[in-house]
Amino acid sequence: MKIHLIIPHGLKNHFEQELQMAQNEFALGNLQLSWRHLERAHILGQAWPVQHTKAHWKMICFALRIKSSKEILGQIPRLIFGGIKSFVGEIPVGNTGGANVPPLKSMDIPIDLLQILNKYRS
C-alpha cells in the first residue's frame, strides 16, 4: 500500500492544466470535451487526497451547472470518500470518476496520461 500526500509539482501542473481546459471548453459550450478534461484530471490526481477531492468537486459543480441529477447524486459519495481512499492508497487506477462508471472499477489509462504518470512514479 502506497500513501500519497503531496502530488509532485510537475504532475500537479498537468492536473491543473486539465482542469483549466475543462473550464475553457465549458465556457465555449463544449460540454462533452469539458467533461472529458475533468475525467482526465481525475485520472491524474486520484492518488492524492487533495487533487482527488478537487476533481470530484469540479465534477459536482459541472453536474450542478448542467442540472444532471444522476451525476450530482453519483458525485456526492465520490466527493465524500474519494480523498479518503486516496489517503489509504486504495484507488481504482484509471477510473474516470463519473457516475457513469462503477466507483471501484479500475480502467485502462489513456497512453498520454500513463506516460505523464510514469514520469512521476517513485
Please state, as a whole number, how many other Cβ atoms lie within 10 Å of the Cβ of residue 87: 18
Cα separation, 26 vs 29, whole angstroms: 5
Is the pLDDT assigned to residue 88 strictly greater than 90?
no
Please state, as a whole number, how many other Cβ atoms lie within 10 Å of the Cβ of residue 2: 7
List, for residues 41-79, the tens digit of each pLDDT value: 999 999 999 999 999 999 999 999 999 999 999 999 999
Q: Which residues contact 64 (CB under 8 A, 6 or more apart)?
A: 72
Residue 4 lies in a domain: no
Residue 55 lies in a domain: yes
Residue 90 lies in a domain: yes
Question: 94: phi > 0 → left, psi -120 to 50 → alpha, else beta; which?
Answer: left
Residue 1 lies in a domain: no
What's the pLDDT at 90? 82
Average pLDDT of the chain?
94
Range of the domain at 57: 9-119
Residue 3 lies in a domain: no
What's the pLDDT at 2? 64
- How many domains is the chain built from? 1
Q: Is the Cβ–Cβ distance between 58 and 20 less than 8 Å?
A: no
